[in-house]
């Protein structure tokens, strides 16, 4: 066994293999999913088999599922029931192989395929009449930023009926695991059979996704696409089968070769309630906290949570760590909760163990909250790696390439009981110009092209170590203007800043 106190931080960037794991990509969409191969590398590096790996903001479950598949005890938590539904369905391993899901697909097929195929031939009145006979959720109000006011307006009557018929057939499956797996496929189908689905340009009509994930609100497509319900569901079900096959195979392999000491447990709690619910310390935390603006997870998950019948109490919405949303959470609330979360994470770690936090934001106060609270909680920052190239280019990011921070930073701390705040210097704080010059000299000493986030992250850490992060007021506009004034130009094809005076090829340093 490797002694944990001899472990060093990971200082190198790990190239993301986004599509590599079918168990995460293609099963069900979720927000800001982390690349499984990166998460695996961190878990393997910082823990041993059988140890506890926690993600308190677990989302669709990449951390805890990968921990389980590495023969660790994966502990998953998220305040959003949709996130827990996805994670727990992927992690469910009670069957030997996927035959039980294939069998269930056949049952659903014989229960509703004929009627689904007839839907295009039915008149509007016939559809309405049939809708009266099936079970539908209530027609609730949607968040105020939505293009339409009520839930049913997210669907054409045919889509509503097709989804209801499919769900009715799935609900009748007797095997609970099979029902769960197909409900996951149905829930993923729900994300495609609605009016927020935007087809990807230049690709098959069925390729694309909901505006919920690309522009983070219920935007209705100008020309909504009506995908064929059975084929759409069938494709999603096959994806679930492929993903589950990976999970089951890996578990069986570990059982045969190493002995199974892995596991997966999940909670649906506000992070603050987690220490009491888990009741013991953990060996490693890898997490991707909510990012503040743009993504109001619970509001945006109504499409799924509502029809799946998952209650989201007002108390959960009040405790959600976001800026904005329907409850208009303030930035101060977000920062205070982000701070608390870091304190809770470090409190839950065993002494001498590690915490990795994935983060990126223009607001340097958010970084300050993380770095300062970690130091207060007596954990030391050991690495800050910019993961360039992991980006999923959402519509928002594509439109604002120059001003967007696309790469994530993985901040890794060790709970060593030390954790010092940087000394506040008596001399004047460095100016933004000085910090940018300083960072440019490190990131691109020879004038080679570089990604903006790499420079930005250098500036943040530089300002932090010089005790000047608090007074740093760097907007994305100032950042771009200063770079342009220094002879740099943003290249939207390479997504890098390129010198207008030097022609050195890109070979940027990837770590701090
Ligand atoms: C950036 S996402 C994590 C995504 C995840 N890394 C993945 O791979 O899918 C942040 C998550 O934090 C959750 N969250 C927000 N406020 C929370 C709170 N107070 N307690 C626990 N989870 C919360 C959100 O529901 C969201 O799923």
C-alpha 32 – ligand 1 centre gap (Å): 9
Instruction: Return d(Cα 17, Cα 382) in angstroms, integer.
Output: 25
C-alpha 168 – ligand 1 centre gap (Å): 30
Q: Is residue 194 part of a domain?
A: yes
C-alpha 435 – ligand 1 centre gap (Å): 32
Instruction: Return d(Cα 78, Cα 341) in angstroms, integer.
Output: 13
Structural domains in the chain (count): 2
Q: Is residue 337 part of a domain?
A: no
Domain termination site, one of 212, 235, 258: 235
Q: Is residue 440 part of a domain?
A: yes
Q: Is residue 82 part of a domain?
A: no
Tell whether ligand 1 has an atom less than 6 A from the beta carbon of residue 93.
no
- Using most ligand atoms within 8 A of CB, pick from 297, 305, 319, 343 the residue to mutate for ligand 1: 297
- Using most ligand atoms within 8 A of CB, pick from 57, 276, 337 the residue to mutate for ligand 1: 57
DSSP classification of residue 50: T
What does the buried/exposed string (b/e) look like for 441-474 if buried means 16 or more CB atoms within 10 Å of the residue's CB?
eebbeeebbbbbbbbbbbbbbbbbebebbeebeb
C-alpha 288 – ligand 1 centre gap (Å): 7
Q: Is residue 433 part of a domain?
A: yes
DSSP classification of residue 401: G
Q: Is residue 488 part of a domain?
A: yes
Question: Which residue range forms the structural domain that includes residue 158?
Answer: 99-235
Per-residue confidence in pLDDT tens, the chain, 512 aa: 455 558 999 999 998 887 779 999 989 999 988 899 999 999 999 999 999 999 999 999 999 999 999 999 999 999 999 999 999 999 999 999 999 999 999 999 999 999 999 999 999 999 999 999 999 999 999 999 999 999 999 999 999 999 999 999 999 999 999 999 999 999 999 999 999 998 877 777 778 888 999 889 999 998 889 999 999 999 999 999 999 999 999 999 999 999 999 999 999 999 999 999 999 999 999 999 998 767 999 999 999 999 999 999 999 999 999 999 999 999 999 999 999 999 999 999 999 999 999 998 888 899 999 999 999 999 999 999 998 765 554 555 555 555 555 578 999 999 999 998 887 665 678 888 899 999 999 999 999 998 888 898 889 898 998 888 888 888 888 889 999 999 999 988 888 899 887 655 544 444 43
Domain termination site, one of 235, 252, 271: 235
- For atom 20 of ligand 1, the residue with the nearest CA is 270
Atom of ligand 1 nearest to the CA of 83: 27
Q: Is residue 463 part of a domain?
A: yes
DSSP string, 472-499: ----HHHHHHHHHHTTEEEETTTTEEEE
Domain termination site, one of 190, 208, 235: 235
Q: Is residue 287 part of a domain?
A: no
């Amino acid at each position: 066994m490797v002694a944990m106190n001899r472990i060093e931080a990971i200082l190198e960037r790990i190239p993301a293999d986004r599509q590599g794991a079918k168990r995460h990509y293609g099963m069900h969409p979720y927000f800001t999913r982390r690349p499984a191969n990166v998460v695996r590398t961190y878990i393997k590096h910082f823990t041993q088999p059988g140890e506890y790996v926690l993600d308190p903001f677990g989302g669709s479950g990449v951390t805890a599922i990968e921990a389980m598949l590495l023969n660790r005890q994966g502990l998953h938590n998220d305040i959003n029931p949709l996130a827990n539904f996805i994670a727990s369905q992927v992690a469910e391993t009670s069957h030997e192989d996927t035959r039980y899901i294939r069998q269930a697909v056949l049952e659903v097929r014989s229960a509703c395929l004929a009627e689904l195929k007839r839907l295009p031939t039915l008149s509007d009145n016939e559809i309405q009449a049939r809708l009266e006979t099936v079970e539908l959720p209530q027609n609730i109000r949607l968040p105020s930023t939505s293009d339409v006011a009520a839930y049913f307006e997210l669907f054409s009557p045919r889509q509503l009926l097709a989804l209801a018929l499919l769900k009715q057939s799935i609900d009748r499956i007797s095997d609970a695991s099979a029902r769960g797996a197909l409900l996951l496929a149905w829930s993923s189908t729900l994300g495609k059979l609605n009016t927020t689905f935007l087809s990807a340009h230049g690709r098959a009509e069925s390729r694309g996704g909901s505006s919920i994930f690309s522009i983070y609100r219920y935007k209705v497509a100008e020309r909504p696409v009506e995908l064929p319900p059975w084929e759409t569901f069938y494709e999603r079900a096959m994806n679930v089968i492929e993903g589950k096959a990976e999970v089951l195979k890996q578990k069986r392999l570990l059982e045969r070769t190493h002995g199974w000491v892995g596991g997966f447990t999940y909670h649906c709690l506000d992070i603050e309630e987690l220490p009491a619910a888990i009741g013991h310390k953990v060996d490693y935390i890898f997490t991707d906290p909510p990012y503040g603006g743009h993504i109001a997870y619970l509001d945006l998950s109504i499409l799924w949570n509502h029809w799946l019948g998952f209650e989201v109490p007002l108390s959960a919405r009040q405790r959600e760590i976001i800026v904005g949303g329907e409850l208009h959470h303030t930035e101060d609330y977000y920062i205070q909760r982000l701070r608390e979360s870091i304190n809770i994470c470090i409190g839950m770690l065993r002494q001498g163990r590690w915490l990795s936090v994935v983060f990126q934001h223009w607001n340097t106060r958010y970084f300050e909250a993380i770095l300062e609270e970690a130091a207060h909680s007596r954990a030391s920052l050991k690495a800050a790696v910019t993961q360039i190239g992991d980006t999923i280019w959402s519509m928002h990011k594509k439109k604002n390439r120059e001003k967007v921070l696309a790469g994530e930073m993985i901040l890794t701390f060790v709970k060593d009981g030390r954790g010092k705040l940087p000394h506040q210097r008596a001399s004047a704080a460095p100016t933004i110009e000085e910090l940018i010059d300083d960072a440019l000299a490190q990131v691109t000493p020879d004038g080679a092209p570089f990604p903006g986030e790499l420079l930005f992250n250098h500036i943040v850490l530089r300002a932090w170590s010089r005790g000047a992060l608090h007074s740093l007021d760097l907007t994305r506009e100032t950042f771009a203007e200063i770079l342009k004034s220094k002879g740099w130009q943003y290249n939207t094809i390479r997504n890098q800043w390129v010198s207008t005076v030097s022609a050195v090829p890109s070979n940027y340093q990837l770590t701090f």
